[in-house]
């Protein structure tokens, strides 16, 4: 029987808090591994923290995300096999599920048993481990506790429990997000849903720090999901969420949001802009802000009527959503346009991968000399789908006209 299939069966049968113990036993029996360690990325995306197994002593210490073989594998998402002069080799393997990066699996093996087939097989084991972790996370606090360098605030706990994750990937797109602060909460809202034909996405500005803001975002996110799962279109989703917020807060707490539907077959986009975060497009060498007709924020008035707008993505386009809590990022100088800091940050990071760009933009905005935002969320959507034309066909950066 395939060794990977055997490991998968063992992980499925293991108790949620004993995944690493089960994995170590399987790797010892099937791969002659002398040790195995699992390191998970912390909430702040600064270090990878080792999971402490129940039935074996802890192995590796925590590792920085920007240095060393563990950090290298996490950043590049490429397996790395280290061979020294001794009898042992070490395999470093990314643990990732549908684009969402969880951490790195580190396995020590006999050097004479580390061929390409073994490395490939262990890569499949690491992917299976990622899926098992996602399920186990619903039944134990072990892995969430491991990811903390210090305590989360109550609002931060709420935010991490409601947001879907940091990334999602499909055949036609990659989506990556990064937000700060990570251990408290800026009240930001982010969610998505994917089917064969469409990607539904919402990004919203925070309404301030602390538990009150987290409660607003949680109510809004629940209303969005309720409307979406009932089959309502973008206008219906915006309207139901608007009613839920107004019914609870009577206009005193509103949410600036952007709701988007991307047709994965052709790159056509529908957008509802409810006083939204800023939206930018990088097309070839052109980086520009996408100007949308802003409508009222969600929850401001009762029975607000929303309308959609249309855009079209071309192959190779990148959309960047920037939420700074106030709708507009602060300008660094009095004479500078409000979106100047974002334009500079995007110019500095446009050549980075979709996974690295959001964090780099957040750091650039947090380093703004004057009036740095307390909370920032950046989401990067890379479109590589077919059937949406060529990026060279519209070098002026304007959206292509909607189809007839």
Quick check: 193 and 203 in contact, CB under 8 A?
Answer: no
Quick check: 364 and 341 in contact, CB under 8 A?
Answer: yes
Neighbouring C-beta atoms of residue 292, cutoff 10 Å: 15
Residue 375 has pLDDT above 90, yes or no: no
Give the strand pairing for 257-263 and 268-274. Answer: antiparallel
> What is the pLDDT at residue 186?
78
Rounded to whole angstroms, the Cα distance separating 296 from 256 reads 8
Give the dihedral sign, CA 101/102/107/113. negative
Burial (CB < 10 A; 0-12, 13-18, 19+), residue 392, is exposed
Q: Mind listing the pLDDT tens digit for each residue in 285-307?
A: 899 999 999 999 999 999 899 99
> How large a percentage of the chain has pLDDT more than 90?
73
> What is the pLDDT at residue 136?
96
Region 219-242 average pLDDT: 97
Backbone angles phi, psi at 64, to 5 degrees: -70, 150
Residue 332 has pLDDT above 80, yes or no: no
Mean pLDDT for all residues in the chain: 88
Predicted confidence band at 350 (pLDDT cuts at 50, 70, 90)?
Answer: confident
Q: Where is average pLDDT lowest: 122-126, 216-220, 335-339, 399-403?
A: 399-403
| Among candidate residues 287, 281, 277, the one with its CA nearest the CA of residue 376 | 277
Q: Quick one: tokens of 265?
A: 């077959």
> What is the pLDDT at residue 349?
85
Region 388-400 average pLDDT: 39
| b/e burial code for range 376-385 (CB count within 10 A of at least 16 → b) | bbbbbbbbbb
> What is the pLDDT at residue 338?
54
Q: Mind listing the pLDDT tens digit for each residue in 48-71?
A: 999 986 555 556 789 999 999 999
> What is the pLDDT at residue 57?
55
Q: Quick one: tokens of 28?
A: 């010892």
Neighbouring C-beta atoms of residue 173, cutoff 10 Å: 21
Q: Per mean pLDDT, which of 318-322, 369-373, 396-400 is the most reliable? A: 318-322
């Amino acid at each position: 029987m395939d060794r990977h299939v055997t490991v998968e069966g063992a992980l499925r049968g293991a108790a949620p808090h004993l995944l690493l113990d089960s994995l170590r036993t399987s790797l010892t029996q099937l791969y002659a591994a002398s040790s195995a360690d699992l390191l998970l990325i912390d909430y702040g995306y600064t270090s990878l923290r080792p999971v402490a197994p129940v039935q074996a002593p802890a192995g590796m210490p925590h590792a920085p995300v920007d240095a060393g073989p563990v950090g290298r594998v996490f950043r590049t998402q490429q397996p790395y096999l280290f061979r020294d002069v001794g009898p042992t080799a070490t395999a470093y393997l990314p643990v990732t599920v549908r684009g969402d990066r969880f951490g790195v699996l580190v396995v020590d093996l006999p050097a004479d048993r580390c061929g390409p087939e073994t490395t490939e097989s262990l890569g499949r084991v690491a992917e299976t481990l990622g899926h098992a972790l996602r399920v186990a996370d619903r039944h134990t606090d072990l892995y969430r506790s491991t990811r903390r360098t210090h305590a989360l605030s109550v609002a931060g706990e709420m935010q991490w429990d409601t947001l879907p994750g940091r990334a999602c990937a499909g055949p036609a797109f990659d989506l990556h997000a990064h937000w700060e602060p990570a251990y408290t909460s800026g009240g930001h809202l982010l969610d998505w849903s994917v089917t064969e034909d469409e990607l539904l996405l919402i990004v919203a500005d925070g309404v301030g720090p602390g538990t009150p803001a987290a409660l607003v975002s949680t109510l809004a996110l629940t209303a969005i999901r309720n409307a979406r799962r009932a089959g309502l279109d973008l206008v219906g989703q915006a309207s139901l969420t608007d009613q839920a917020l107004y019914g609870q807060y009577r206009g005193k707490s509103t949410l600036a949001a952007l709701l988007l539907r991307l047709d994965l077959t052709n790159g056509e986009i529908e957008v509802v802009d409810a006083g939204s975060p800023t939206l930018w497009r990088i097309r070839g060498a052109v980086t520009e802000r996408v100007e949308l007709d802003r409508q009222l924020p969600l929850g401001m008035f009762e029975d607000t009527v929303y309308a959609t707008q249309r855009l079209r993505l071309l192959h190779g386009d990148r959309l960047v959503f920037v939420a700074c809590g106030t709708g507009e990022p602060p300008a660094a100088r009095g004479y500078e346009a409000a979106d100047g800091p974002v334009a500079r940050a995007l110019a500095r990071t446009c050549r980075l991968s979709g996974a690295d760009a959001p964090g780099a933009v957040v750091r650039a905005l947090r380093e703004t000399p004057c009036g740095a935002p307390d909370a920032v969320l950046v989401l990067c959507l890379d479109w590589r789908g077919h059937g949406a034309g060529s990026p060279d066909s519209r070098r002026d950066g304007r959206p292509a006209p909607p189809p007839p």
